[in-house]
Structure 1
Amino acid sequence: MQALPFATLALVLYMAAALWQGLSLLRRVSARPILVRMLATLGLLLHIPLVIKLLGQSPGFLPGFTTSITLFMAVAVNVVLVASLFKPVLNAGIALFPIAGVALIAAAGLPSESSARGLTPGILLHAVSSALAFATIAIAAAQAVLVGLQNQALRHHHIRGIVQSLPPLTTMERVLFELVWAGVLLLTLSIVSGFLFLDNLFAQHLAHKTVLSITAWLILATLLVGRYRFGWRGMRAVKWTLAGGVFLILAYFGSKFVLEILLGA
């Protein structure tokens, strides 16, 4: 299978889904969530076989940078599509869908290496929980950006445009904290399973990932405690969510990017 043409078509579908959802948010077109889900689902149906192909080219537990980010973005898109059936999170796709498509193009053109390792049930649990934690927190970060825009618009009495298209701020914040709660629980499972089932973390260049993941967990857990004890919300919640998301991105992809892309190691 030639990966690049399929990746290009997936990118087009993802971009079309993101564009329509973005234009509907700006009230330039009517909201059509079914159309957006259909376009993104078609993109995902092209995305998943390519991920499987890339993983098959570099078998092992620790895929390289481009394969890893493509795999994680496939999970993120899937989580957005499923969650959007129950919660108003489809707007997160405005950012996530194009990133997924670009990552897929990069992976199709630059297949990455993998560290060989057996896939035991414990390691599988760690891999799945890590992917789901990343996906959930990525969606929370996108949700936080929208909450921040909505908060600033309302503060300056700008009630047209995006603000009119979004659910009420209280609903947006509730969904944000639900996503953070789910992300923290999944990240907890990922960290605990990593300690239980992975050995020689320093030899595997995973020490940085562990430290950064724990830092992200502490930031997001602090946000939840602040919400419960002190009623944190608004821009404070936005900043803490984004900070946790940044640390998690660095944990999962930072060193892989430096070692494989910049240094060619």
Structure 2
Amino acid sequence: MLSISTLIAVLLYSTAGFLQWQIMRGDRKQSRSINQFLGLAGLVAHTAAIFLVLHQPGGINLSLFSVGSLISWLVAGLVLLSSLRQSIDNLFIAVFPMAAMTVLATWVAGVGDGKAYDAGLILHILLSILAYSIFTIATIQAILLSRQVSALKHHHTRGLVSSLPPLQTMERLLFEMLWTGLTLLTAALITGFIFFEDLFAQHLVHKTVLSLIAWGLYAILLFGRNSFGWRINAAIRWTITSFVILAIGFFGSKAVMEWFI
């Protein structure tokens, strides 16, 4: 079942991403509902795969690859849901291939052992994964926004720019995502301090410090937006930098723990 659901998810995600890329380039015209349907079907298959990977006899499998697959599943689901009310279909170009690669990598790496977690730690983990997922979407949005600004600056009005919402809408969506992500990251850090006996223990200190640095950078960006009117260029730089730091803390620490310790 894991192999079948994984391969179906990869096929559907890849097809939806490729078709969206053709639409963006102007090579194909089709109803947006087709890609939404393919993405949703891929998400259903991904759901089955991630369920089989996470639930193990010993508890929940939160290995590096399974967490990556879970985050990409959540990102794909959030983008699909948001696409019903916002014209953000071009996010499919990055989100669906990412989901396909992570679900495939998890299958290739093999299913890890499960571990039992208490309710408080599960809450902290879920909030962390939600925050990371939102920031992942925000970073993709920032990259698209950067491409859009560059294209408009050079008076390129076809291809990507013609298929994106107006610049003001893209900017507003980015800051909405950042506020949501920061709220979730704040809650994740608070629950971490509450439910971990020592969040600065040797095996958690790098993740904690880098997460706090990323939180500070996101907070400064949003403060600058509200107080000084920081706009697109600042948002793009700060969003990408903050995400890189958060990713190093989130995945880098987990990789070191699993592979080198």
- Listed as ranges, the gaps of 5+ residues in structure 1 are none
Is 1:34 matched with 2:19? no
What per-residue deviation string (whole Å, max 9, x for no partner) do you get for residues 208-263 of structure 1?
221121111111111111111221122221111111221222222112223435x3
Question: Does the residue aligned with 1:116 lie in a helix, a strand or coil?
Answer: coil
Matched with 2:193 is: 195
Separation of aligned partners in 2, 1:225 and 1:67: 35
How far does residue 32 in structure 1 lie from its aligned partner after superposition?
2.9
Matches within 5 A, 1:56-135: 56-57=55-56, 59-60=58-59, 63-111=62-110, 113=112, 116-120=115-119, 122-135=120-133
Separation of aligned partners in 1, 2:57 and 2:127: 21
Equivalent residue in structure 2 for 1:245, among 243, 246, 249? 243
- Listed as ranges, the gaps of 5+ residues in structure 2 are none
Matched with 2:156 is: 158
Comparing 35-44 and 247-256, the one that deviates more: 247-256
Is 1:140 matched with 2:138? yes
What letter corresponds to residue 238 of structure 2 in structure 1?
W
What letter corresponds to residue 19 of structure 2 in structure 1?
W
Matched with 1:182 is: 180
Could you state the TM-score of these two structures normalised by the residue count of structure 2? 0.92
Equivalent residue in structure 2 for 1:211, among 209, 212, 220? 209
Matches within 5 A, 1:214-225: 214-225=212-223
Answer whether contact 1:74 1:100 (CA < 8 A) is retained.
yes
Separation of aligned partners in 2, 1:214 and 1:95: 27
TM-aligned CA distance change 1:115 to 1:50, over 3 Å? closer
How far does residue 62 in structure 1 lie from its aligned partner after superposition?
6.7
How far does residue 163 in structure 1 lie from its aligned partner after superposition?
0.9
How far does residue 68 in structure 1 lie from its aligned partner after superposition?
1.0
- Equivalent pairs, count: 261
How far does residue 84 in structure 1 lie from its aligned partner after superposition?
1.5
Question: Does the residue aligned with 2:36 lie in a helix, a strand or coil?
Answer: helix
What letter corresponds to residue 51 of structure 1 in structure 2?
I
Matched with 2:4 is: 5
Question: Does the residue aligned with 1:78 lie in a helix, a strand or coil?
Answer: helix
What letter corresponds to residue 26 of structure 1 in structure 2?
R
Matched with 1:149 is: 147
What per-residue deviation string (whole Å, max 9, x for no partner) do you get for residues 93-136 of structure 1?
2112111111111111213545733331x223212211211111
How far does residue 206 in structure 1 lie from its aligned partner after superposition?
2.2
TM-aligned CA distance change 1:128 to 1:259, over 3 Å? closer
Could you state the TM-score of these two structures normalised by the residue count of structure 1? 0.91
TM-aligned CA distance change 1:12 to 1:203, over 3 Å? same
Separation of aligned partners in 2, 1:123 and 1:31: 45
What letter corresponds to residue 240 of structure 1 in structure 2?
W
Comparing 44-53 and 82-91, the one that deviates more: 82-91
Answer whether contact 1:66 1:112 (CA < 8 A) is retained.
no
Matched with 1:254 is: 252
Matched with 1:234 is: 232
What letter corresponds to residue 205 of structure 1 in structure 2?
H
The CA RMSD measured in Å over matched residues stands at: 2.0
Comparing 181-190 and 203-212, the one that deviates more: 203-212
How far does residue 155 in structure 1 lie from its aligned partner after superposition?
1.1
Matched with 2:17 is: 18
What letter corresponds to residue 94 of structure 1 in structure 2?
I
TM-aligned CA distance change 1:209 to 1:5, over 3 Å? same
